[in-house]
Amino acid sequence: MVYACDSCHFLFYRASPVKQCPDCGKESIRKATQEEIQEFEQRTETNLWDE
């Protein structure tokens, strides 16, 4: 599942539920919207190509 942080707009993937943002540590996590998931996947693909 892809999550988004409302505080810092960090997008990240976790297999298990999370409560805290790994970036800013705040508990403003929600499920990412479809739009954000697509953005996240595109970013991941870009990173793979870079390496």
Interface ranges with Zn ion (CB under 5 A): 5, 7-8, 10, 21, 23-24
Instruction: Compare residues 16 and 49 and give the one whose CB is closer to Zn ion.
Output: 16
Beta bridge partners of residue 11, listed in sequence order: 4
Token pair belonging to 42: 């595109």
Please name the residue that has the structure tokens 């800013």. Answer: 24
Shortest Å distance, C-beta 20 to Zn ion: 8
DSSP SS3 for 26: coil
Shortest Å distance, C-beta 8 to Zn ion: 3
Instruction: Compare residues 21 and 32 and give the one whose CB is closer to Zn ion.
Output: 21
Beta bridge partners of residue 4, listed in sequence order: 11, 30
